[in-house]
Amino acid sequence: MMNLTRPSHSSILFLFFILAINSTSALTKYNVLNFGAKPNGKTDSTKAFLMAWKAACASADSTIIYVPKGRYLLGSMAFQGGCKSPQIIFRIDGTLVAPQDYRVLGKSTDWLSFEGVNGVSILGGALDAKGPSLWACKASHSNCPSGATTLSFTNSKNIRIRSLLSLNSQMFHVVINRCENVDVQGVRIIAAGNSPNTGGIHVQLSKNVNIIKCSIKTGDDCISIGPGTKNLWIEQVTCGPGHGISIGSLAKDLKEEGVQNVTVRNTIFLGTQNGLRIKSWARPSTGFVQGVRFTDSLMRNVQNPIVIDQNYCPHNLNCPNQVSGIKIKDIIYEGIRGTSSTQVAIKFDCSPKNPCTGIKLHNVNLSYLNKPAQSSCSNVRGKVLNLVRPESCL
Ligand SMILES: *[C@@H]1O[C@H](CO)[C@@H](O)[C@H](O)[C@H]1NC(C)=O
Ligand SMILES: *[C@@H]1O[C@H](CO)[C@@H](O)[C@H](O)[C@H]1NC(C)=O
């Protein structure tokens, strides 16, 4: 058995959190065991967790909901906001486990969802969503539920997620939707490389989000960035297996908010399908992507290290013979190095109606089988500084 929790590490972080709390406010602790939770992995502890949340939420103090070591069986839970408590810390030393039967969570969109909360931190712990039985269903049947996101925050502010392990989600592991000021650090995500739709972290309609020092192994995008994302900072993230870091898919809808001011730095991609990708459907849309800096990336055997694909049209449904309305502008690739597992390491396939503009390649060095890789361009304008290889087509 793998030991999923690292108490010493989380204790240090816990101390840091206590120190970080405004020292003038009181801090009240709620232990889930006192609400009837059982750390045996067998007794349904859903009600106990929700009661602990209700108590913490109603307190006028800053609060800690403490989850001691052990395994807690939990069904789908919504932690609703409107709390009196200015700060609620979930300190988890144990593992939260989903029901063995995938159908129990499968019919919900989320397993653990926080809605309309302000000042919530999740510190430590492991979430085991028991996804493999649903993945197996999807591999052999067509009438499986789509599955639940493991952890989601919606319409929330001032959120911190630290030192969390998310294992084998049914769908996305973490979703940040309509949020502001979110700090994700030291999160590990693990799912099989061939698991369907198990995206790592998805951000949309949110601003001021940091994703730092994370390791993400999944069967889908490592981090996906949806419409309406603004001021996103990604740093020291390792991806793979999986589909890489992706802005998109965009142009899903005609009326769509843009993506702006995204920084992705110090990333490592190991055997992923893509490295740094921007992707939009070939469909009309009001959306845009503007002001993205991809800097210092190491690629190891990545199929498409640098790719802009504005002709995304899976199964050729609802998009053939259309062009993407998404305007892509001011995208910098700097210090991108390593190996491509296919000959074309840089591919800019932009919209004929809205060519990509302001694309900059600076110090890029990608090889394929120890030979220079190739690049491919359509409908793209930009400039190149110190490109080593492949030779630019800009
Ligand atoms: C871009 O986002 C970063 C945080 O990711 C922020 O520090 C910076 O001020 C933003 N820049 C603009 C022009 O808004
Ligand atoms: C480019 O990468 C190749 C292979 O990793 C390496 O041998 C070469 O020295 C690099 N060139 C520069 C200028 O960094």
Average pLDDT of the residues in 211-222: 98
Ligand 2 mean position to 365 CA, how many Å?
Answer: 6
How high is the pLDDT of residue 2? 43
Average pLDDT of the residues in 58-78: 98
Does the pLDDT of residue 19 top 80, yes or no? no
120-159: pLDDT as tens digits? 999 999 999 999 999 999 999 889 999 999 999 999 999 9
Single residue among 220, 253, 271 that ends a domain in this structure: 220
Q: How far apart are CA 372 and CA 343, in angstroms?
A: 8
Q: Which domain holds residue 139?
A: 1-220
The region of weakest confidence among 21-35, 99-113, 180-194, 263-277 is 21-35
Residue nearest ligand 1's atom 6 by CA: 231
Residue 137 lies in a domain: yes
Could you give the residue numbers annotated as active site?
220, 243
The region of weakest confidence among 16-20, 28-32, 263-267, 286-290 is 16-20
196 secondary structure, DSSP code = T
Residue 307 lies in a domain: yes
Do both 161 and 83 map to the same domain? yes
How high is the pLDDT of residue 17? 56
Residue 318 lies in a domain: yes
How large a percentage of the chain has pLDDT more than 90? 87
How high is the pLDDT of residue 103? 96
Does the pLDDT of residue 9 top 80, yes or no? no
How high is the pLDDT of residue 6? 46
Average pLDDT of the residues in 263-283: 97
Single residue among 191, 220, 249 that ends a domain in this structure: 220
How high is the pLDDT of residue 317? 78
Q: Which two tokens stand for residue 41?
A: 């992995």
How high is the pLDDT of residue 20? 54
Do both 105 and 199 map to the same domain? yes
Residue 229 lies in a domain: no
- Of 212, 230, 231, 332, which is best to mutate to test ligand 1, by the most ligand atoms within 8 angstroms of its C-beta? 231
How high is the pLDDT of residue 26? 75
Between 314 and 272, the more confident residue is 272
Do both 206 and 280 map to the same domain? no
Residue nearest ligand 2's atom 5 by CA: 338
How high is the pLDDT of residue 314? 83
Does the pLDDT of residue 297 top 50, yes or no? yes
Do both 42 and 182 map to the same domain? yes
Residue 225 lies in a domain: no
| Cα torsion angle, 298, 303, 309, 315, sign | negative
Do both 169 and 250 map to the same domain? no
Do both 372 and 268 map to the same domain? yes
| Cα torsion angle, 13, 201, 116, 279, sign | positive
Residue 320 — pLDDT band, cuts 50, 70, 90? Answer: confident
Average pLDDT of the residues in 240-252: 96
Between 394 and 262, the more confident residue is 262
Residue 310 lies in a domain: yes
Q: What are phi and psi of 137, to 5 degrees?
A: -60, -50
Do both 124 and 241 map to the same domain? no
Q: What is the mean pLDDT of the chain?
A: 93
Residue 387 — pLDDT band, cuts 50, 70, 90? Answer: confident
Single residue among 188, 220, 252 that ends a domain in this structure: 220
Residue 321 — pLDDT band, cuts 50, 70, 90? Answer: confident
Do both 335 and 282 map to the same domain? yes
Residue 282 lies in a domain: yes
Please name the residue that has the structure tokens 């504005």. Answer: 310
- Of 298, 301, 367, which is best to mutate to test ligand 2, by the most ligand atoms within 8 angstroms of its C-beta? 367
Residue 30 lies in a domain: yes
167-187: pLDDT as tens digits? 999 999 999 999 999 999 999
How high is the pLDDT of residue 319? 80
Closest CA to 214 of 260, 245, 249, 177: 245
Ligand 1 mean position to 232 CA, how many Å?
Answer: 8
Does the pLDDT of residue 16 top 60, yes or no? no
Task: Tell me the CA distances in angstroms from 277 to 36, 82, 247, 304, one per residue in order.
Answer: 47, 38, 6, 8
Do both 22 and 110 map to the same domain? yes
Does the pLDDT of residue 1 top 50, yes or no? no
Do both 334 and 245 map to the same domain? yes
Do both 214 and 240 map to the same domain? no
Does the pLDDT of residue 249 top 80, yes or no? yes
Cross-strand pairs, 219: none
Task: Tell me the CA distances in angstroms from 188 to 124, 136, 204, 362, one per residue in order.
Answer: 10, 23, 20, 31
- Of 388, 389, 391, which is best to mutate to test ligand 2, by the most ligand atoms within 8 angstroms of its C-beta? 388
Do both 258 and 117 map to the same domain? no
How high is the pLDDT of residue 270? 98
Residues 145 and 121: beta-carbon distance below 8 Å: no
Does the pLDDT of residue 274 top 90, yes or no? yes
How high is the pLDDT of residue 25? 59
Residue nearest ligand 2's atom 14 by CA: 365
Ligand 1 mean position to 46 CA, how many Å?
Answer: 39
Task: Residue 95: give its domain's CATH number.
Answer: 2.160.20.10
Tally the domains of the chain. 2
Ligand 2 mean position to 364 CA, how many Å?
Answer: 10
366-380: pLDDT as tens digits? 999 988 899 999 999
